[in-house]
Structure 1
């Protein structure tokens, strides 16, 4: 048993009761992290750097520490927040949905990356309520290759043939998924075995089942197509810790000789962070053995796996997202090129000026309906009827009176432009090469058909979290009044 398997530990008690999906997800995330650190040792160095930066931020900025305590974020700060995989077929996506359901992870959001030059559409498998997210925030950004975007018909058929031959789930993993679905849960022994079997789907395999020639043809179409079709399974291509200061981590990577991507994706640095900022260390070239016609292997190289870092801010409402998209598009249009290492300083300056139009304090964001917040009761005797639906102005008045405290609801999802920027910068040698967008139409219906389920609306989930917190808050105020 390797270190990843050994990390399945004392959270479980030795009995026949079903283990909660939250606990399975938490233990799987630990096992995945241990495996990835073995496969990509530089990722372990990144975790150490992020931990040092977070420790320093908490020591120097007690207001941030207090906010994290109020929202329950402090205890889970050190947990990896997400990973990413890429799948090749509808059957793979459908079975992956079933596998993640064992861990209490469900498809949230639909992302079409084709307009940004990446031939996939995606969803994020994650927990969907506040309590489950507090127990384990781990999520997996899961992309499905769009073979319809391969322009060479012969190559498209070769890719389909290669994908049809592979089997990415072990027989035991499928059996345990079936068992979970039929009996409603897994006991301790089954849970441990499930985590071991599920890890095999995400493990790196150095031997590729296709020829070096076919790999190169696929890579000429797009490096991501070669990454999906050319391997035995959907190796985890990155894991992501959460930092409280992504700019400090970016500088820290450079100081430690960890090669960072040139641009931090997402909004600019702010006093009150919004949505998601992401960066990564660049993917390293790895030795790969390609299978030739004689059945033997020849050496080659592949670039895909990297380490990512994220800084998360408050989730935005549809109004807030519209403003965010408008300001981001304005900045990119003004830059006139894809942000890269040659124009990074110009881009950051333009981005900061553009986002000056987005309020940078939580109270204004709340009052203008731009972001989602938790409402928390402060012990004061103010009469309010919890059963009455309060107008926004009345809620704001209670906040101003000190009866209610607002705290940001953390954004748990992704940004298509940012995801495409991360993908592109880690699938080729130079970030300055623009990748033209694909002309194929977005097809959420086709994606959901392959998935075998509808994706959750992330904004509806945040809306429900905010509404629930307000209801609980007003009830608490009413009791103490």
Structure 2
């Protein structure tokens, strides 16, 4: 089959993202209300901040703002993770980063499947935070054996999805008809299940160990547990949610509000209590919620070290998990400690705290080849021949991810697990190594520098 007949993996990912959003909005109507609120907020921000609008236009992000999504899924076995890795590869998504959530009392470790090149990200930034249950952390050996047995009996991929994955791997891609069918079949893995595979008593045993364990083990397959539109002002959205009939979580995860946003901030509405049928009785289960994210600039290793130090200092001083009772105090402490982090892009660049993209300007092109043309990057920037834009952070924060998990599982779910990261075990299950996200940002930054110097100094 000629390569020209294949649909781009980026376009398959884009189609899958839209189908996932439509499915989730149908299943969780409150998510539709959340998306409408985010759209209204973004329109207001763009109308009032021309500088931000120009920045998004220049970087190409304006075209993907209304399709910015991430989702999350929780898996039970190594085989499920390995196959999902193959499924996402058909959509041009690779495992980026390793996240150990056990220090926050969540018995999983995770990665983020996403595109890795800036051009692919502009086509579709859809990413899926994918967690693998750590069965070895279930303390009761009988319950651990039961969970292992329950998971071994299920198959979370349709036969047609598996066949299409094999076809894409064998032939190097999918044609338009197969790509559409692949999206339909892949979607089934993420669909909600109204029936459990366990009795009410077994569900309760699993839930008593950890509510997330029940969420993973008690059903015939995983389900997308949230999707996330991107907002340009998360504080506005958080404040406006109650007026739209949406109850927000108490604390916005991530750094405090800043003039120059860094990394990632997240909030959500609390998980819905939804009716399900156990094998012997009717009951309910809480798992699905709606999340919102605001993304800032990606930080260098030096910037991440400073961020982690300030975050840990604020949390240590708080002395408790952030919740409704201490939300105001936590916000105050975060703002206080983060005064030590420069809130200015120029300073962040000078101190090598963040990554940036560089763009040739019309003035730079007009001056190309002239005798007094600047010859260094800093001089080109100073002369207005090159523009500098912050490089958007595409990944997740372990503390933010754990905070979102915990706030939607309830305080009773805050079990304590020893911090025992096991990246080697995760990557063995995955079937490949995860990609270091900081390397990707450094490569994107360097590509943009090379493009500028090549265009102006070659």
3-state DSSP class of the match of 1:270?
A: coil
Compute the displacement of 1:231 (Å): 1.0
1:305 to 288, 298, 307: 288
User: Contact (CA 8 Å) 1:237, 1:306: kept in 2 or not?
Assistant: yes
Q: Does residue 356 of structure 2 align to residue 373 of structure 1? A: yes
Show the counterpart of 1:461: 440
Show the counterpart of 1:452: 431
User: Contact (CA 8 Å) 2:68, 2:124: kept in 1 or not?
Assistant: no
Compute the displacement of 1:187 (Å): 0.7
3-state DSSP class of the match of 2:238?
A: helix
User: Contact (CA 8 Å) 2:33, 2:244: kept in 1 or not?
Assistant: no
Q: Does residue 276 of structure 2 align to residue 288 of structure 1? A: yes
3-state DSSP class of the match of 1:426?
A: helix
Compute the displacement of 1:440 (Å): 5.1
Q: Does residue 227 of structure 2 align to residue 234 of structure 1? A: no
Cα deviation per residue 1:163-219 (whole Å; 9 max; x = unaligned)? Answer: 001110000000000000000011111111111110110000100011111111111
Q: Compared with structure 1, are the counterparts of its residues 44 and 311 closer, same or farther at alpha carbon in structure 2 (3 Å cutoff)?
A: same
User: Contact (CA 8 Å) 1:384, 1:477: kept in 2 or not?
Assistant: no
1:316 to 279, 283, 299: 299
Q: Compared with structure 1, are the counterparts of its residues 176 and 276 closer, same or farther at alpha carbon in structure 2 (3 Å cutoff)?
A: same
Show the counterpart of 2:409: 427
> Using the alignment, how far apart are the partners of 1:335 and 1:458 within structure 2?
30
User: Contact (CA 8 Å) 1:375, 1:470: kept in 2 or not?
Assistant: yes
> Using the alignment, how far apart are the partners of 1:80 and 1:31 within structure 2?
14
> Using the alignment, how far apart are the partners of 1:434 and 1:239 within structure 2?
22
1:437 to 396, 416, 435: 416
Show the counterpart of 1:476: 455
Question: Equivalences for 1:143-292 in 2 at 5 Å?
Answer: 143-292=131-280
> Using the alignment, how far apart are the partners of 1:383 and 1:269 within structure 2?
44
Show the counterpart of 1:7: none
RMSD: 1.7
Cα deviation per residue 1:362-390 (whole Å; 9 max; x = unaligned)? Answer: 111011000000011222327799xx9x9
3-state DSSP class of the match of 1:261?
A: coil
2:334 to 337, 351, 372: 351
> Using the alignment, how far apart are the partners of 1:400 and 1:61 within structure 2?
24
> Using the alignment, how far apart are the partners of 1:398 and 1:320 within structure 2?
25
> Using the alignment, how far apart are the partners of 2:351 and 2:279 within structure 1?
59
Compute the displacement of 1:343 (Å): 0.8
The number of equivalent residue pairs is 451
> Using the alignment, how far apart are the partners of 1:143 and 1:166 within structure 2?
17
User: Contact (CA 8 Å) 1:372, 1:463: kept in 2 or not?
Assistant: yes
3-state DSSP class of the match of 1:31?
A: helix
Cα deviation per residue 1:311-332 (whole Å; 9 max; x = unaligned)? Answer: 0000000000000000000001
3-state DSSP class of the match of 1:123?
A: strand
3-state DSSP class of the match of 2:74?
A: strand
1:411 to 386, 390, 393: 393
Q: Compared with structure 1, are the counterparts of its residues 452 and 368 closer, same or farther at alpha carbon in structure 2 (3 Å cutoff)?
A: same
3-state DSSP class of the match of 1:78?
A: helix
Compute the displacement of 1:396 (Å): 3.0
Compute the displacement of 1:401 (Å): 2.7
Q: Does residue 90 of structure 2 align to residue 102 of structure 1? A: yes
User: Contact (CA 8 Å) 1:16, 1:188: kept in 2 or not?
Assistant: no
> Using the alignment, how far apart are the partners of 2:221 and 2:377 within structure 1?
51
Compute the displacement of 1:459 (Å): 0.4
> Using the alignment, how far apart are the partners of 1:16 and 1:459 within structure 2?
33
Q: TM-score, normalised by structure 1?
A: 0.91
> Using the alignment, how far apart are the partners of 1:87 and 1:75 within structure 2?
32
Compute the displacement of 1:124 (Å): 0.3
Show the counterpart of 1:119: 107
Compute the displacement of 1:144 (Å): 0.2
Show the counterpart of 1:12: none
Show the counterpart of 1:133: 121
3-state DSSP class of the match of 2:285?
A: strand
> Using the alignment, how far apart are the partners of 2:346 and 2:455 within structure 1?
22
Show the counterpart of 2:52: 64
Cα deviation per residue 1:66-108 (whole Å; 9 max; x = unaligned)? Answer: 1101111000000032000000000000000000000000000
